Amino acid sequence: MQAEYVIVGAGSAGCAMAYRLAEAGKSVIVIEHGGSDAGPFIQMPAALSYPMNMKAYDWGFHTAPEPHLGGRTLATPRGKVIGGSSSINGMVYVRGHARDFDTWQEMGARGWAYADVLPYYKRMEHWHAGIHGGDPAWRGTDGPLHVTRGPRRNPLVKAFVEAGKQAGYPETKDYNGAQQEGFGPFDATIYRGRRWSAANAYLRPALKRENCTLIRAFARRVVIEEGRAVGVEVDRKGQTEVIRATREVIIAASAINSPKLLMLSGIGPADHLAEHGIAVIADRPGVGQNLQDHLELYIQQAAIQPVTLFTYWKLIWKALIGAAWLFGKRGLGTSNQFESAAFVRSKPGVEYPDIQFHFLPLAIRYDGKVAAEGHGYQAHVGPMRSASRGAVTLTSADPAADPHILFNYMSDPQDWADFRTCIRLTREIFGQAAFAPYSGHEIQPGEAVQSDAALDDFIRAHAESAYHPCGTCRMGAADDPMAVVDPECRVIGVEGLRVADSSIFPQITNGNLNAPSIMVGEKASDHILGRDPLPRANDVPWINPKWAVSQR
């Protein structure tokens, strides 16, 4: 079993790289521990709360008790299935803000400024602009990844954008175009009523080529001989074997599993590896460090009109929606129901948005439990650029053991002030005239929760992960002691080994991470193939001219 390139992980970045390398005529083996993505739980957009909570599709990781969240242990779902987390996520498509990528460049990721990455976003997208407007000049039109918008028929979806405008915020027709800041429609990786995961967009077309093979196996470690990665040791069909790479091994196993695999292979903080009896091949203290995520809260409001999706929560309706989807890819089953978004700034002096809203015309949790109140709606809200940092470390030298995951959420004092701001701004939006015909009492946090101390108690008890882990194999300059990979995604100190997935992000981007993860796979492909990067873009993004003096 050998190929020129061996990719560990058929997730968002791994599928994109498999497609581009195979397209270039290279032989590729993709190793994936998870199985098939067939069936309605993954493919039906409205069923998104199921795969995230199913052992068949999820690695089932949990954090250690989080000290600043009252010792709560939080779920950390990662996709264990072809398509990776793009097969179990909420299908929300956000590129990130232009300034995010300019910051990456300032942090040592040379060649990853917005002008450098925008051409890769355009290359990967097939943006269906004609249906809903948007910003066609900023978007790609013939890439493998179909990006669409939901029908936006529910009156609450439109009320949310109208309320934002009434509160004095700008409207944006396309937050993935020139102007992220403001209220507007959400983009989604949904096409013809189906989840358009990285498996559907990239892996299936790649596997149609004779030079691309998918192997179901569990990766134990990278085999390194004389300082060079030469293959991957895997458990497959009850046997341990080595799948060899004649050119390179590429790890794309997630912000949790990529650093784990590096450490098991002898690449990481030397003292930590020694504790577990692992021989040190490259002392890289940054491996597993710099762990980041987005936390969010659900602000829930009761509805006095039966216009929410709660109407369809009865079993009979679920069956009818499922049937309409199954037999015609029609109806409510074709949308993830996240159809309105907002990106705003928390205060004057913040140059670009640092708060994101997902609006949902239903009061529900990620585990699929609806509010006892019945009809309601909610905004998921949270800060985008927390200064809190955690780590992924080994619990054992046994590859089968789960890693130790501590995000260290809310460890920075600024996080508490930022979250209180998020709650108060959401309440102000829900209090606008656009919601007056629908608005009942506040379900959560509840009208009694007003003081800083009361809000902090609510945050401590209810903040949830948005499932956006990243940063654990940070990209930076080759002479940066805490960098793990250089700006071409090469692991510093080992030949023939790269990492390319969300773990290489120097800093978390604005919004959901699926789009930037796929972009990393696209751009890394050109580095792997030794091609010149795509020509830099000249597009100038919009920054609010009043940002220094005004919050909106």
Q: How far apart are CA 442 and CA 301, in angstroms?
A: 4
DSSP string, 280-341: PSEE-TTTT-SBB--EEEEEEEEESSS-SGGGGGSHHHHHHHHHHHHHHS-SGGG--S--EE
Please give the Cα distance from 184 to 165 (Å, whole number): 10
Q: Treating both helix axes as pointing N-terminal to C-terminal, what angle do 98-106 and 114-124 enclose, rounded to 10 degrees?
A: 130
- The answer to whether residue 527 is catalytic is no
Compute φ and ψ for 5, nearest 5 degrees. -125, 130
Supply the angle between the helices 155-166 and 413-430 in degrees, to the nearest 10: 110
Exposed / middle / buried, residue 131 (Cβ in 10 Å: 0-12, 13-18, 19+): exposed
Among candidate residues 460, 450, 455, 469, the one with its CA nearest the CA of residue 514? 469
User: Could you give the CA distance from residue 347 to residue 418 in angstroms, rounded to a whole number?
Assistant: 10
**Residues whose CB falls within 8 Å of the CB of residue 318, separated by 6 or more in sequence, listed in order:** 312
Instruction: Please list, residue by residue across 336-358, b when 16 or more beta carbons sit within 10 angstroms of its beta carbon and e when fewer do.
Output: bbbbbbbbbbbeeebebbbbbbb
Indicate the DSSP class of residue 181: S
Annotated catalytic residue: which of 358, 375, 468, 527?
Answer: 468
Beta bridge partners of residue 250, listed in sequence order? 7, 498
Catalytic residue positions, numbered:
468
